[in-house]
Structure 1
Amino acid sequence: MCYYIYNNVYLIGTDFICPKLIEFIRSETKEPKLADRLEYLGEKKAGLAEMVLTVLRYVDYYTDDEIEKLRGILTTLNTQNVYERLKTRADRLMLNECYYAAIRSYSQIINGKKDPSLSVVFYSDVCYNMGVAYARMFLFRQAQNCFNEAYSLSRHEDCKKAAMAAGRLAFNSESSNRVEFLDEQTDEEYVIRREIEALMDNAMYSDGYRHIDDIYKNKDEKSIGEQIERWKEQYVRYTG
């Protein structure tokens, strides 16, 4: 139960510590003292953070440092509903480059029942962030769809620009050519085209590109093997 709480804290609400769970702790886990304590906190209308931390400290499954780290998260979550917690979880997964897991969380928000208490901007941000996650996995067509949806909600120019860029990159990827564009294009599309070309040209001078280029030129089997292993680790993290 501690493992579930710690790893799903963004999905846990104040109704998680309910009478049914307290009875389970009392009868099934044979921990009447913990059950009594949670019952007492429930009667006092204690917050989510206090009740969850009580369970974690009692069982002593996690270290004090890990529990203190969780305290800060719980303090913020006390003021959020389930969808806001899901977005917080997805955003943190994005920061850790766990893109597929982040997409799953964003999808739960988009595909769930619309919450009238949440603003249009909130849902636009969810779509935009999911587009970023897809783009970082080089799934540009899916990214374009997310950016378009974000723009339809908020009409924010950054969303429109991102959708156009993702569309151009998807076209390039699908045609297997280096940034080829249709002859007919708007002024905005032309600007996006030039920006993408500039980014691709500048990429050749990045440390990452030079490292790969050196490995390719030197035909160093050891370095090639190490690089492949790093890519494998990245893939597992991205899609895990």
Structure 2
Amino acid sequence: MGKLIFCTGQVTQKPYTFPFSKTKIYSMEELNYYLYNNIYLISEDTFQYSLCDWIENELLLPEVADKIRNLLNRRNHLKDVVVSLLCSADYYTEQQIRELIQVMEQIERMPMIKKRKIKADNYLMYGQYAKASSEYEAIVDAKEAAVFSGVEYGDIYHNLAVAKARTISASEAAKYYLLAYRRNQREESLVQYLYALLLSKNTEEFKAACEEFAISRERQEQLEEDIFVKELAALETADYESIERLSDLKKEGKVAQYYRELKNTIRQYKDTYRKGILS
């Protein structure tokens, strides 16, 4: 799980895999750690009967498994399931569990639209881009979205743009990055908007955007070079390998020479590629 966890109970060779995050766990302590540190990811889908079977058959804890099954059958609050599992091991103190209960109660009191945003963020985090896109679109169209500040609303558009870039196209994503930047004024949204325009070959809109947002000519060239290098990397060309070799200059402290030669090299390759496209 990325962290050394001291286990005093049964450690199994057959892990349980959470269906949403695909995280694998091998012990009750790891289960506790996952729940405690991912409380905003926890939903009804987190707890399935297969988890109860794993606790019973792999961790050899039939009493705990039966207790969780009963809670699921009675459709108890998620808080009850989480607390029951945390209390089945001594990994967290009583005070830590009480503090987590307070966090869960705060989540329960959230407006439904904010809970929906958490769900959308989780979809995005774990690469379920189509579901994330659907959730974000529903959020921005909802009257209840008025609870979000301008910056928060812009951030939702930014995340929607990321999902669109993964599922549709850079051109489609560009529209939402622009909506994001007009609301949140974050540099990241502006940069991604400009990148999206370049990737979609929308030269005229890129020029107009640079003029509107006062992007210097030097900055424009840097953005264009970034995209060109990324495209070469995606193609795994010999050109990209040549650019990579220039990084030795940077490691040697010859930073000015590195950027000068990088710029010249990219310019040469751009000319070569343009000639190839036009021929």
TM-score (norm 2): 0.44
1:111 aligns with 2:141: yes
- 1:194 maps to 225
- 1:132 maps to 162
Counterparts in 2 of 1:134-149, with a 5 A limit? 134-149=164-179
Q: CA deviation at 1:196?
A: 0.6
Q: Does the CA contact (< 8 Å) of 1:77 and 1:85 recur in 2? A: yes
Q: CA deviation at 1:7?
A: 4.2
| Aligned partner of 2:108 among 55, 71, 78 | 78
Cα distance change, pair 198–58 in 1 and its aligned pair in 2 (3 A) = closer
| In 2: Cα distance, 1:77 partner to 1:130 partner | 23
1:59 aligns with 2:73: yes
Letter in 2 for 1:190: E
Gap regions ≥5 residues in structure 2:
1-42, 48-67, 87-99, 211-216, 238-279
Q: CA deviation at 1:159?
A: 0.9
Q: CA deviation at 1:113?
A: 0.6
Give me the identity figure in percent: 18
| In 1: Cα distance, 2:46 partner to 2:179 partner | 28
| In 2: Cα distance, 1:118 partner to 1:76 partner | 17
Q: Does the CA contact (< 8 Å) of 2:139 and 2:145 recur in 1? A: no
Write out per-residue CA displacement over residues 61-120 of structure 1, whole angstroms, 9 at most, x where no aligned residue: 89x9x9439997954522421121111101111122111111111011100115443211
| Aligned partner of 1:89 among 119, 138, 150 | 119
| In 2: Cα distance, 1:92 partner to 1:55 partner | 25
Gap regions ≥5 residues in structure 1:
10-53, 173-180, 207-240
Counterparts in 2 of 1:216-231, with a 5 A limit? none
1:203 aligns with 2:234: yes
1:122 aligns with 2:152: yes
Q: Does the CA contact (< 8 Å) of 1:56 and 1:67 recur in 2? A: no
Q: Which has the higher contact order (CA 8 A, sep 6+)?
A: 1
| In 2: Cα distance, 1:58 partner to 1:193 partner | 54
Q: Does the CA contact (< 8 Å) of 2:177 and 2:189 recur in 1? A: yes
| In 1: Cα distance, 2:120 partner to 2:129 partner | 9
Q: Does the CA contact (< 8 Å) of 2:152 and 2:184 recur in 1? A: no
| In 1: Cα distance, 2:164 partner to 2:184 partner | 20
| In 2: Cα distance, 1:7 partner to 1:136 partner | 24
| Aligned partner of 1:165 among 185, 189, 195 | 195
Write out per-residue CA displacement over residues 172-201 of structure 1, whole angstroms, 9 at most, x where no aligned residue: 7xxxxxxxx56x945243322111111222
| In 2: Cα distance, 1:109 partner to 1:68 partner | 28
| In 2: Cα distance, 1:142 partner to 1:123 partner | 18
- 1:68 maps to 82
| In 1: Cα distance, 2:46 partner to 2:160 partner | 20
| In 1: Cα distance, 2:226 partner to 2:234 partner | 12
Q: CA deviation at 1:205?
A: 5.0
Letter in 1 for 2:173: A
1:102 aligns with 2:132: yes
CA RMSD of aligned residues (A): 3.9
- 2:44 maps to 6
Q: CA deviation at 1:168?
A: 1.5
Q: CA deviation at 1:136?
A: 1.7
Q: CA deviation at 1:155?
A: 1.7
